Structure 1
Amino acid sequence: MPNFRSVDFHCDVLWKLLEDRSLSFEQDHTGKLDVTLPRLRQAGAVLQTFAIYVPERMEKSMVPILHSIDLFHRKILSVPDMTFVRSSADAARLMNRSKIGAMLSLEGADGLHGDLAMLRILFLLGVRVVGLTWNHANWGADGVMEPRGGGLTKKGRAFVEECDRLGILLDVSHLSDRAFWDLAQFAPRPRIASHSNARSLCAHPRNLADDQIAALIQQGGMIGVTFVPQFVKAIGESEIADVLRHVEKICELGGEKQLMFGSDFDGIESYVRNLNHPGELHKLQNALLARYSEEMVGRFFAGNALQFLVKHLPG
């Protein structure tokens, strides 16, 4: 079987490092991390996106966000195998070098409190993807689990406009449906769903309805199929075959060139059977190769995402 390189658009290693500063990404001997350097090597990783997530028990301010960025530099970028990805040129170089790209995203902008200066500072520090909310409401929008299901606020709209001006990619994965459609009205740049599946196959609110997937595809955005078991299958144990159903649905809707993966490793406590960490991605690869061409599977694993980043990251 061919051995493809891989891109993963969402993991929560930084959250675990924030909670436990003793953990090591380079060589984890505790078994507490899903995503580690040895496992990324096993996966043939070309790019890993590291999400900054501030757990609910911590203060909603820039302090834990900056601590997370500090940990990213000290524990991930300090590893010689890793290289920072901030620009289109950085992304273009990844396929021709042996190092693994590391990109920063922000999952929930609560700590910015609508201050666009804080957003600009995060851009200068290398954050290139932002999800405005986590599951709940904040100053900018309602998250997908907020009962009232509100859309973007006035501050949220100003935030979106500044992200577009800077070249920050906006992630819709945790937005309420109304906020998703509010964001879709901002036409200049395509959006991504870093880690969401198809709601028509698994009726979890965090998944995307078919018309949302179609809108992302029409705008040239990206959808990261995720391995969160409760987003893969509503009842019973999730298996790789169930992940393939979401891949097939997105392809049926015309998204074969906009499909990628966003594992949510280190942000989950249960796993799709036989898909427990990046070192097992070859099992998903083999299952896909039974249904799709080598060229198409290569695009799913890395080609689509890299092409998108080359086109849409700042120069």
Structure 2
Amino acid sequence: MRISTDARTGRFLTTPQTVQLSHDLFASEERPATWLAGLIAADGCISADRKRLALTQSGDHGRLIIEEARKLTNHKLKISRGTPRRGQPTYAITLNSPQMIADLDAIFGITPRKTLVYKFPDIPPHMVASFLRGYVDGDGCVGIYRTPQGNAMLHLSFVGTPQFIRSAISHIPAAGRFHEITRCAALAEARYSGRHAWAACGWLFSDADLLRTAKAQIFEEYRKVLSVKPPIWFTQSQQRQIAMARLAAGGTVAAAADAAGVRCATVYGWRKSQRI
């Protein structure tokens, strides 16, 4: 794509396509925009002169993500397609919007050459889940693996700077592990497995209005696995939800225990841990 500039000022000359862009998208605090910001934080690239934003994804699922990004930004130009010798085809779009780039910096701290320095943004709590979902959709890993006993286990992981990973773990309502990447001092990894991955993914992918990506589909597949052969922790989690919902509705401990099919002492313990 050829981009014209003013010979006198060096500014980009607008075209019918770039005029139509939703330049104020990232100032909206809407969940789809925040999801896209998270995706860009993981996989986007801003030019050194802060005039162009590029987003690239690979494979069929990557094309769906790029199509969603086009819809959200009102991008009207063609998708660039790459065919590497190895691996899947790549799809990319370029956005020429100084306002988008300025908002991504001001609100989400996304700048050129961010990989080794990016910090978790100071955003309102209601934006965190959609932002991290976009980050995981962009550069995370969600998979189902077999334990030595042959049971299916869910796994979630994603990489970032140590500060970003520690902050992300503190926001996700599940027990994640911080793993240092020794070959690169500026990067670390968040890891969740089993019931902790279940809790983390349940939180990340709970918004049905956001794009149903390949990673969200893997989590849905795991839901089906658990419904056929639920492990003990899953059964206990379901029982706890039933009991706590009954208590929240004003029921007694005995009524909550009866509804969940557990002992009263178990419900007392759950209630105590919730108050701590």
TM-score by length of 2: 0.29
Q: Which has the higher contact order (CA 8 A, sep 6+)?
A: 1
- State which structure, 1 or 2, has the greater radius of gyration over its C-alpha atoms: 2
In terms of fraction of residues, the more helix-rich structure is 2
